[in-house]
Chain A
Amino acid sequence: MKAIEIFKELGIEYEEMKVKGNSTPRYRAKVEPDKLEEIIKKFKTQGFKHFVALSCVDWIKEGNMELIYHLFSYDTLEDVFLSIYLPRDEPKYKTLRHLFPQIETYEREVHEMFGVEFEGNDRLGEFILEDWNDMPPMRKDFDTVKYVKEKYESVPLVEGRGDKQ
């Protein structure tokens, strides 16, 4: 089933994105967080069996966190991006790992890099960053250069280079 037909059946507004070098357009839709699970289920039964990625964008001016669920269909070779918006000061969503098991890993990554909380996912511990004790580093208000200066450049050199053996 084509993505347009599914969108029309569900009554969701969508947007076509032309990609250079791609003949087929990609579809992007903003959906309500409550309805996302049902929509992904519908897409999954209609041929969109490949969950490509879950990514996150920090819209600091709007005060939002955008979560983008990226699906792909091998039948029609179409890409679909479903995005939801969460409040930035307390981003919280439920886990969708029962739909696609690989979502669990993406949720762990988004949790670590952006601080988004996923209710129901019990593996949101330390993942890629080890020994991290600051705010999540991919948030826009994290000052990387300042952090680098404080953490790494303040480490003193150990003397003794050139001592005689």
Chain B
Amino acid sequence: MIDAISERVKSGLRSLQDYWSISYGAAVSLASRPRYWRETLDQMDFIGVGSLTIVTLTGLFTGMVLTVQSSATLDAFGARPYVGRMVSLSMLRELGPVLTALMVTGRVGSGMAAELGSMVVTQQIDALRSFGTDPLRKLVAPRLIAGVVMVPALTVLSDAVGMIGGYLVARFTLRLGTGLYWHSSLDAIKMHDIFMGLIKPFVFGFIIVSVGCYQGLTTTGGTRGVGESTTSSVVVGSVLILASDYFLNLLILRFVYP
């Protein structure tokens, strides 16, 4: 029993060490040449352009449902005109970053784990190393840059579309005036809200890519292992995003908000 526990602890520490070496190695490789800009642009296209539809739809329906749900509560206090404020702050501070990150994890994190995992089991990673090319520099670093640039960009889009979705419901279902909705929405947003809304997706982008790459590069056990890595990348990535969101909230509220 004790042996089994100690083995689990050791294996957990080994995984943590591997995760650190992969993330740190890729980040450090950015400081020196060669840098793979073509691969970085390809990854930006894959993460950013490729996720546009899914992120737009998620943002739109979240904003819409948020308006429907919150209007019922606000009506009880005669506060329907404040629905725009409710939607904009919720989208900007919490739902935009988290839902975008979760959707991108499902699409991009799993894709990276599957691609790199397949490369491991078909010895393509060994082949890269035998040709004198560092896989962390060639494969992980471009994905990391693309992740930390594109996830914030997608989040901004999701926030904007969410607010528009909220407006459509407010205008055509709740019969709220256009000026009233947008005035309430935009007036509520302060600088620290924008900061919170942008710092989170930056961290989430790093988590999505580093977890996806770690799961892919540590794949063992052939094609079945690739399937397991893909699943783990989504599960671990999602849990880490939600957990880090809580701690980021604590930190930002403590140090940034007045």
Chain A bound to chain B: no
